[in-house]
Amino acid sequence: MEDFGEKFVQVGVALAIFAGVVGLIMLLVDRAPKSFRDKATVVGFLLPAAVLLAIGLVGPAVQTTFLAFTDRNGDPNGLDNFVWMFTQPEALVTLRNTLLWVVLVPLLSTVIGLAYAVFIDRARGEKALKALVFMPMAISMVGAGVIWRFVYAYRGGEQEQIGLLNQLLVWFGGEPKQFLLDAPENTFFLIAVMIWIQTGFAMVILSAAIKGIPMEIVEAARLDGASAWQQFRSITVPSIRGALIVVVTTITIGTLKVFDIVRTMTAGNFETSVVANEMYTQAFRANEPGRGAALALVLFLMVLPVVIYNARQLKKQREIR
């Protein structure tokens, strides 16, 4: 009880000192010239955010960078973690899978979302149809993984199938298949889940961009005899180029960081692991924090060019406007 009272007093004293310092600063700022007050106001608003970024982002990033060059005991080991990453078969499989995710998910999600946005635009029941496609975005990654585990579920022998795909195979005279166990095609079945989720995002953004195209341009193209494909290629795509870049880069960044789907459905087993999942596995399961940090560093370096490209494109669009 006495310890609690002492701590309570210490906290009270600390708060009183803090309040006194803040009050003194405010008094000095209030009496300072206007130019100084303006600068102090800006610093006052930005300083808390800068401190939080330094504590929650910059600090851990620096610590992770140093950790990437150590072994499991915390001793420096040079580039051994990176050598392991680019030479060991299991690590190379992880990098291969990540590359497949990064290529296929943004490409297919954007293409399918764009096609859906174009064909459903101004159609009867447009809102309901688009809501159905967008609905997976409201589901968490873990929830989507659980749903699709049931879709891919397998039962051997003469047991009744509970998985949708295997039941369809049985109805059409085929044999049930272990979709999540057979490599390397199991990676593509996991990728399909991410595409299912991200297609709705691509469709909504691109649909809004298409509706923003001036109708005068479209009508002029029709009067000139342009076919639907020519209108799409020469008017629609150039007009929504900015939205396409945003969609592709956003989905790419999300795909590079994918973890929940893989962890929920296969836990990275059966040659399905990706960089984010392997980072977790090495750091918290295999007791190799150095390797996990090295994977985190590589993941950051993979995301960074996409972010820079996106920022440059947004800057160019502002300059054009």
Q: What is the CATH number of the domain that holds 211?
A: 1.10.3720.10
Local confidence band at 181 (pLDDT 50, 70, 90 cut-offs): confident
The average pLDDT across 208-235 equals 81
The pLDDT tens digits for 121-150 are 767 777 888 888 888 888 888 989 999 998
Q: Please, are residues 88 and 295 in contact by the beta-carbon 8 Å criterion? A: no
Q: Is residue 14 located within the same domain as residue 86?
A: no
> Which residues, listed in sequence order, are joined to residue 70 by a DSSP beta bridge?
76
Domain boundary among 32, 67, 102: 67
Residue 144 lies in a domain: yes
Q: What total number of domains does the chain contain? A: 2
Local confidence band at 40 (pLDDT 50, 70, 90 cut-offs): low
The pLDDT tens digits for 69-99 are 988 888 888 888 888 888 888 889 999 999 9
Q: Is residue 27 located within the same domain as residue 110?
A: no
Q: Is residue 153 located within the same domain as residue 217?
A: yes
The average pLDDT across 95-112 equals 92
Q: Is residue 150 located within the same domain as residue 268?
A: yes
Residue 75 lies in a domain: no
Q: Is residue 44 located within the same domain as residue 146?
A: no
Domain boundary among 20, 36, 67: 67
Local confidence band at 13 (pLDDT 50, 70, 90 cut-offs): confident
- Six-digit token pair at 112? 């399918």
Lowest mean pLDDT segment, chosen from 1-10, 242-251, 271-280:
1-10
Residue given tokens 């891919």 in the structure block: 152
Distance between CA 273 and CA 96 in Å, rounded? Answer: 9
Q: Is residue 244 located within the same domain as residue 165?
A: yes
Residue 167 lies in a domain: yes
Residue 72 lies in a domain: no
- Residue span of the structural domain in which 60 resides: 2-67
Q: Please, are residues 209 and 202 in contact by the beta-carbon 8 Å criterion? A: no
**Is residue 64 pLDDT above 80, yes or no?**
yes
Q: How many CB atoms lie within 10 A of CB 185?
A: 11
- Six-digit token pair at 258? 């994918």
The pLDDT tens digits for 280-305 are 888 888 888 888 889 888 888 888 88
Task: State residue 96's pLDDT score.
Answer: 92
Residue 74 lies in a domain: no
Q: Is residue 118 located within the same domain as residue 261?
A: yes
Beta strands in the chain (DSSP E): none
Q: Which residue has the higher pLDDT, 26 or 305?
A: 305
Q: Is residue 95 located within the same domain as residue 122?
A: yes
pLDDT more than 90, % of the chain: 14
CB-side exposure of 98: number of CA atoms within 13 Å? 24
Distance between CA 65 and CA 109 in Å, rounded? Answer: 33
Task: State residue 193's pLDDT score.
Answer: 93
Reported pTM: 0.80
Q: Is residue 149 located within the same domain as residue 100?
A: yes
Task: State residue 16's pLDDT score.
Answer: 75
Q: Is residue 158 located within the same domain as residue 255?
A: yes
Q: What is the largest CA-CA distance in the chain?
A: 89
Q: Is residue 35 located within the same domain as residue 58?
A: yes
Residue 32 lies in a domain: yes
As a three-state string, the secondary structure of 174-203 is CCCCCCCCCCCHHHHHHHHHHHHHHHHHHH
Alpha helices in 58-171 (DSSP H): 59-67, 80-87, 89-120, 126-134, 141-151, 164-171
Residue 260 lies in a domain: yes
Q: Is residue 44 located within the same domain as residue 174?
A: no
Residue 232 lies in a domain: yes
Q: How many CB atoms lie within 10 A of CB 43?
A: 11
Instruction: List the one residue out of 195, 201, 190 whose CA is nearest residue 135.
Output: 201
Local confidence band at 107 (pLDDT 50, 70, 90 cut-offs): very high
